[in-house]
Chain A
């Protein structure tokens, strides 16, 4: 299994604040890698640094062997990385169709792929020409995930997709990610919901205070309650 994404001693400063303190981890190709940790551990900063939305002040980020540390965000995205931010990044004044269209190439939708994506979230087809601002929180998250899936991507980076969503919606999302996993899509997923993390993750990296404090196989972490309690503590108890 080759490493599609590799972070090597990555540091990030935001203003005067030193947020990431030498983050190292890898995302193997064809696997789902979960990035876990309590609030403020640096998970979102790590994802934004990978996307070039915040610049790494030291260290190296490589994607498919290419150094992307200093690349502009659009160039990183064009390498085949789809990013779903915690805020979902939905354009509320555009329709559902227009939101999806922005993620496609110049030739527009691949209808077979679009049908497959919308099969996961049929409600989006019903809302196809509605303004995205009128969607519920769960529907917006479905749109954000669908937008990331509507074109073939080499890596899908998703930041806390279940945050604030109803259990039924979370179930839908888990099914969609499960299907992506079965299709051997490479995914880096930040998640506080350990049930979801355990059901999807192949690999896991746990962050605390801007550092990776554990990296390994999800199955090992899921089987070791003492390790879970030590690494995830209150975060786990709150979300399990």
Chain B
């Protein structure tokens, strides 16, 4: 995230939101909700960051993104089921290894299917948003039916690894272990993406391509190859987010991805289309807002994220950290 001076105002929304919520509840409750909000935010970030990169670089509105979130969740169910011995074993290593295997399998298979989806569907609709919406919504419906065909229509339970069940006490608040694991994974992915985008030539090309695809080609780079890589990375991250969200919900339905799609799009729009840093901030804002409002006024929880979106867009119509495009 390359922050100019004025961008600190956008980033300051995070501590401001947390401080505004503090007087309305006890400190332990505030700590528990802040960690829960951060965990939800990290999982939203995992799901949304691929979507924002795909839109930013490829100018593709992928409404089938939710299908890859669902696929990641179902793959996690299958892998965790196959590794039930590890998941249920005491000690850190077997449980973390089982979760890591589920997350990596979800990422790998979603990446491969993402490449196929780009080749079969997306490649035909570059440059036409209307066709993209029609084709990706169609792809979403087909993918959902394929998920039903493979895993069935009934909700499937997903048992978290034994080591990530339960909670620990921090500042008088009970913190779920799994939520902390989600925060750690989300931060690790953000740090990895930050390094990839800012310290490698591939990342440099992605950042340049988000801003001006034509000039990247005029400098001699074949941007279509970059498109495939970014699409694969985006769907892989959706799979990771889906796998983690499945563990968070402990129940997987075929609609788990599409249910998250609205929140994912809100995150992407709040952050500014194409911005990974903006996506990170937007996801945390949505996660914290949902948890604080869900505690203080449960009926307003979903509406609160829409209200957040409206307020941010009134302040910055292109999102918090929009990427300049030419």
Residues of A within 8 A of B (CB): 51, 53, 72-74, 77-78, 83, 85, 87, 89, 91-94, 98, 101-103, 106, 131, 133-134
- With both beta carbons as reference points, the residue of chain A lying nearest to B204 in the complex is identified as A98
Taking a contact as CB atoms closer than 8 A, the residue among B4, B219, B323, B324 that contacts A102 in the complex is B219
Task: Provide 20 A-B residue pairs closer than 8 Å at the C-beta atoms, listed in order of the A residue.
Answer: A73-B217, A73-B218, A74-B217, A74-B220, A74-B222, A77-B217, A77-B218, A77-B220, A78-B220, A87-B326, A89-B218, A91-B207, A91-B215, A93-B207, A93-B211, A93-B324, A98-B208, A101-B201, A102-B204, A102-B221
- Interface size class on chain B is 20 to 34
Whether A102 lies near B217 (C-beta < 8 A) is no
Chain A residues with Cβ under 8 A from B323's Cβ?
93
Q: Is the interface of B mostly helix, strand, loop or mixed?
A: helix
**B214 lies within 8 A of chain A by Cβ:** yes
Beyond known contacts A85-B218, A92-B326, A133-B324: 12 more, CB 8 A cutoff: A53-B218, A72-B217, A74-B220, A74-B221, A74-B223, A77-B220, A89-B214, A89-B215, A89-B326, A98-B207, A101-B201, A102-B221
Whether B220 lies near A91 (C-beta < 8 A) is no
Known: A78-B220, A87-B326. A94 touches B208 (CB 8 A): yes
Whether B207 lies near A103 (C-beta < 8 A) is no
- With both beta carbons as reference points, the residue of chain A lying nearest to B223 in the complex is identified as A74
Residues of B within 8 A of A (CB): 2, 4, 201, 204-205, 207-208, 211-212, 214-223, 323-324, 326
- With both beta carbons as reference points, the residue of chain B lying nearest to A87 in the complex is identified as B326
Q: Which of B207, B217, B222, B326 has the most CB of A within 10 A?
A: B217
Min CB distance A89 to B, Å, is: 4
A76 to B2, CA, bound (A): 32
Q: Which of B204, B208, B215 has the most CB of A within 10 A?
A: B215
Chain A residues with Cβ under 8 A from B215's Cβ?
85, 89, 91
A11 to B204, CA, bound (A): 36
| Cβ-closest 10 pairs across A and B | A89-B215, A77-B220, A73-B217, A78-B220, A91-B208, A74-B222, A83-B218, A91-B211, A92-B324, A74-B220
Whether B219 lies near A94 (C-beta < 8 A) is no
A183 to B9, CA, bound (A): 49
Known: A53-B214, A101-B204, A102-B208. A93 touches B2 (CB 8 A): yes
Min CB distance A131 to B, Å, is: 6
Chain A residues with Cβ under 8 A from B216's Cβ?
102
A83 to B212, CA, bound (A): 14
Known: A101-B204, A102-B204. A91 touches B217 (CB 8 A): no
Chain B residues with Cβ under 8 A from A94's Cβ?
204, 207-208, 211
A78 to B221, CA, bound (A): 9
- With both beta carbons as reference points, the residue of chain A lying nearest to B218 in the complex is identified as A83
Min CB distance A232 to B, Å, is: 28
Min CB distance B122 to A, Å, is: 19
Whether A131 lies near B207 (C-beta < 8 A) is no
Whether B205 lies near A102 (C-beta < 8 A) is yes
A198 to B83, CA, bound (A): 77
- With both beta carbons as reference points, the residue of chain A lying nearest to B4 in the complex is identified as A131
Chain B residues with Cβ under 8 A from A89's Cβ?
212, 214-215, 218, 326
- With both beta carbons as reference points, the residue of chain B lying nearest to A147 in the complex is identified as B219
Chain A residues with Cβ under 8 A from B217's Cβ?
53, 72-74, 77
A85 to B215, CA, bound (A): 9
Taking a contact as CB atoms closer than 8 A, the residue among B212, B221, B222 that contacts A91 in the complex is B212
Whether B218 lies near A51 (C-beta < 8 A) is yes
Chain B residues with Cβ under 8 A from A106's Cβ?
201
Chain A residues with Cβ under 8 A from B324's Cβ?
92-93, 133
Chain A residues with Cβ under 8 A from B211's Cβ?
91-94
Min CB distance B202 to A, Å, is: 12
A134 to B208, CA, bound (A): 16
Q: Which of A72, A87, A93 has the most CB of B within 10 A?
A: A93
A133 to B211, CA, bound (A): 12
- With both beta carbons as reference points, the residue of chain B lying nearest to A84 in the complex is identified as B218
